[in-house]
């Protein structure tokens, strides 16, 4: 045996770089600017396609919610009529030689104004005061974008009296119909009037009270609720931007609008 031990052959690290695992390490592939622009363009196109559908679905859901609130009011009117000789809620704004139809969104009148009920309750507000509506929330539409959200009047419903009128989001017919062509007062509205009488619509006091933009929900005397399309903005554009005084001309305009909404058939 040789007295010299054979030393192992020295091993040197390989000069060939090991391939990194896919998707990791400093050499992983990256997006190019062109690829990023293409991805962003695809996302933008998809958003452009989907957003109108989402918006239309939300608007349809809000119209259904609004109609549901109207039906609750209709049930309250029916209960009120059963205990008041078939008459619906009185409103002082529907009386007189120049009925103030533009003010029939009011459910309570300010202090010092003669009213149909105690503590200023008037019109649809009598349903709340008399316990015919369990909750006052149904007097407000989820689509409302004007100056009369439910939050604004939350405290006024609990007070004995209020310093300013309280408005809901729905336009009430009042207890008498429009004046006749020769100027005589309209007939009293009763719950047996049937489909020929318009009882309730979305707000018409100002243009911002026109809740749904393309049209409005309306409730007829038989308590049916349907959506009426304002196809040519024939109603919305005739409404004032701000509340108007109860002049003869303004009252006549509201009478005409109310007659139009009550006579035309709702479109599908």
Structurally, how many domains does the chain consist of?
Answer: 1
Each residue of 150-175: pLDDT tens digit?
Answer: 999 999 998 888 888 999 999 999 99
Residues shown for the chain: 268
**Could you list the residue range(s) of the whole structural domain that residue 99 is in?**
48-263
Question: What is the average pLDDT across 87-115?
Answer: 86
Each residue of 18-45: pLDDT tens digit?
Answer: 555 555 555 666 668 787 788 888 888 8
Query: What distances in angstroms separate CA 146 from CA 33, 99, 239, one per listed residue?
Result: 46, 23, 13
Beta strands at 166-167 and 170-172: parallel, antiparallel or unpaired: unpaired
Q: What is the DSSP letter of 190?
A: B
**pLDDT tops 80 at residue 142:** yes
- With respect to residue 37, please indicate whether it lies within any of the assigned structural domains: no
pLDDT score recorded for residue 184: 73
- With respect to residue 19, please indicate whether it lies within any of the assigned structural domains: no
- With respect to residue 22, please indicate whether it lies within any of the assigned structural domains: no
- With respect to residue 182, please indicate whether it lies within any of the assigned structural domains: yes
User: Band of the pLDDT at 14, cuts 50, 70, 90?
Assistant: low
**pLDDT tops 50 at residue 268:** no
pLDDT score recorded for residue 29: 65
Q: Is 156 exposed, middle or buried (0-12, 13-18, 19+ CB in 10 A)?
A: middle
Each residue of 191-240: pLDDT tens digit?
Answer: 888 888 999 999 999 999 999 989 999 999 999 999 999 988 889 999 99
Query: What single string gives the DSSP state of each residue in 35-64?
Result: HHHHHHHHHHHHHHHHHHHHHHHHHHHHHH
- With respect to residue 215, please indicate whether it lies within any of the assigned structural domains: yes
pLDDT score recorded for residue 178: 73
Max CA separation in the chain (angstroms):
140
Question: Token digits for 254?
Answer: 């509201």
- With respect to residue 196, please indicate whether it lies within any of the assigned structural domains: yes
Global pTM? Answer: 0.77
- With respect to residue 84, please indicate whether it lies within any of the assigned structural domains: yes
Backbone φ and ψ for 199, nearest 5 degrees, come out as: -100, -35
pLDDT score recorded for residue 51: 67
**What is the spatial distance between Cα 64 and Cα 56, in angstroms, rounded to a whole number?**
12
- With respect to residue 169, please indicate whether it lies within any of the assigned structural domains: yes
């Amino acid at each position: 045996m040789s007295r010299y031990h054979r030393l192992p052959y020295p091993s040197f690290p390989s000069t060939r770089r090991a391939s990194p695992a896919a998707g990791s390490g400093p050499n992983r592939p990256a997006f190019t600017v062109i690829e990023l622009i293409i991805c962003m363009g695809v996302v933008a196109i998809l958003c452009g396609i989907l957003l109108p559908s989402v918006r239309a679905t939300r608007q349809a859901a809000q119209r259904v919610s609004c109609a549901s609130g109207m039906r609750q009011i209709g049930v309250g009117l029916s209960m009120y009529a059963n205990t008041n000789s078939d008459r619906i809620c009185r409103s002082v704004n529907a009386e007189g030689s120049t009925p103030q139809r533009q003010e029939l969104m009011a459910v309570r009148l300010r202090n010092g104004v003669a009213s149909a009920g105690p503590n200023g309750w008037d019109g649809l507000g009598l349903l709340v005061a008399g316990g015919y509506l369990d909750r006052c929330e149904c007097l407000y539409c989820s689509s409302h974008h004007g100056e009369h959200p439910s939050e604004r009047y939350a405290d006024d419903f609990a007070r004995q009296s209020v310093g300013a009128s309280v408005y809901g989001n729905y336009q009430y017919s009042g207890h008498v119909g429009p004046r006749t062509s020769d100027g005589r007062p309209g007939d009293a509205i009763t719950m047996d009037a049937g489909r020929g009488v318009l009882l309730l619509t979305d707000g018409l006091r100002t243009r911002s009270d026109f809740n749904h933009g393309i049209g409005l929900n309306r409730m007829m005397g038989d308590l049916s609720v349907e959506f009426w399309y304002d196809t040519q903005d024939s109603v919305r554009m005739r409404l004032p931007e701000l509340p108007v005084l109860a002049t003869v001309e303004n009252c006549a305009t509201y009478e005409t609008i109310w007659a139009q909404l009550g006579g035309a058939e709702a479109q599908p």
